[in-house]
Every structure is written in C-alpha cells, then in structure tokens.
Amino acid sequence: MKKFLKWTLIVVVSLVALLFITFMYLNSQSRKKSPESTAIYDKAGTKITVAYSSPGRRDREIFGALVPYGAVWRTGANEATTFETNKDLTIDGKPLPAGKYTLWTIPEKDNWTVIWNKKQYPWGIKGPFDRSASREPMEDALQTVVPVEVLPEPLEHFTISFTDANEGIAMALAWDKVKVVVPIK
C-alpha cells in the first residue's frame, strides 16, 4: 500500500510540474506576440498611466472578427488593461475620481463605448474555454461613447497614447484601421 501511495504521489507531483511548465511556456509565447506596453501622461501635476498588452495584427481581420462588434473587449491582450490617475478627471462631463481602474471597450463600427471599472482583475478574460471579458458591469465607474476615426494606413500593433488637446488631454486607442479619441479634462 505504501509503495502505491508513493508512486501515486510521484505521478501527481510530476503532472502538476508539467502543467506549470506548460502554462509558463504558453504565457511567455503569448507575451512575445502581445508585448507589455505603457502609455503615460505626466504634465502640470497630472499623471495618468495606462498599462496594457499590445497585440499584433498579423494579417488578421481585427474589428468585427477577432474583436467582435458589440462585445466587451479587454482593450488589449493578456491581463486586463489598467488606467491610473493621481488627479480627479472629467470625461464626457462626468467625474472620474483619482485612483486605479481597469479599462474596457465595446467596439462598434461607428463608435466605441469606453468603460472605466473599479475592480482589478487577474486576467482580461474568464478563462481558456470562456473567452468573454472578465469585467463585472456593477463595478463600472464611468462610461462614455466616442466616434471611430478611420486611419489611412493600418497600424500593426494596438496602441494607447496621450496628447495635449483643446482644454485638456486626448487619449487615443488605435489598431488596424481604427482610432478612437477620448477627451479628458
């Protein structure tokens, strides 16, 4: 009986180790295709940091296919995208208190809904068999709808950037032939 338990334990430990190594390998391969990136706005005492993974286009149809229209998207790849601000902001006339949020979007052909959620999620999707976004709507802090701009040339990697704009800041989210700009005050 002891010999059976010993071999069972060895097999279980070996399987756990193999699964862990496989997970780590697959995770590293995913990060190569969607490297981590950070967009930072830091002027006049206002600091906004957005941490996200930047997936590549790789000759795929993006919006309406890989990223379906009308469905919540984690706004990047891998972990949920985070948005952190040290100052209270105003977005679409609505307040967004200083703090750390996860950033989600619902892409449509003509406009996107951009969502700031109060909860921090360990991953951007529910799991390997359920690819839907892990966002919990009851934790939403703010939503706004912004129009889609068509880019003249496709952009290979998903990118988030900040620029100064009339009376505030512009946060741009762009990928493939699509760009949306969120005005922030």
The pLDDT tens digits for 19-48 are: 666 565 555 544 456 799 999 999 999 999
Q: Are residues 25 and 75 in the same domain?
A: no
CA atoms of 132 and 117, how far apart (whole Å): 16
pLDDT at residue 31, as a whole number: 47
Residues 109 and 134 in one domain: yes
Question: Using an 8 Å Cβ cutoff, are 148 and 110 in contact?
Answer: yes
C-alpha 63/C-alpha 148 separation (Å) is: 11
> Are 121 and 80 within 8 A, CB to CB?
yes
- Do 140 and 165 share a domain, yes or no? yes
Note whether 153 and 86 are same-domain residues. yes
Q: What is the arithmetic mean of pLDDT over 77-102?
A: 96
Same-domain pairing of 169 and 180 = yes
Q: Report the C-alpha gap between 16 and 36 in whole angstroms.
A: 28
Residues 6+ apart with CB under 8 A from 60: 66
- pLDDT, average across residues 55-61: 92
pTM given for the model: 0.80
Please give the residue range of the domain that contains residue 48.
Answer: 34-184
Tell me: pLDDT of 65 over 90: yes
- Listed in sequence order, the residues at least 6 apart from 117 whose beta carbon sits closer than 8 Å to its beta carbon are 101, 102, 103, 104, 135, 136, 139, 140, 141
Domain check: are 119 and 45 in the same one?
Answer: yes
Residues 18, 42 within the same domain? no
DSSP lists the bridge partners of residue 53 as 36
- Are 11 and 50 in the same domain? no
- Residue 166, number of CB atoms within 10 A of its CB: 6
More confident residue, 170 or 23: 170
Among 101, 108, 124, CA closest to 67: 108
Tell me, yes or no, whether 109 and 135 share the same domain. yes
Tokens coding 120: 């921090």
Same domain, 65 and 137: yes
18, 74: one domain: no
Number of domains in the chain: 2
pLDDT tens for each residue of 94-118: 999 999 999 999 999 999 999 999 9
Question: Do 63 and 125 belong to one domain?
Answer: yes
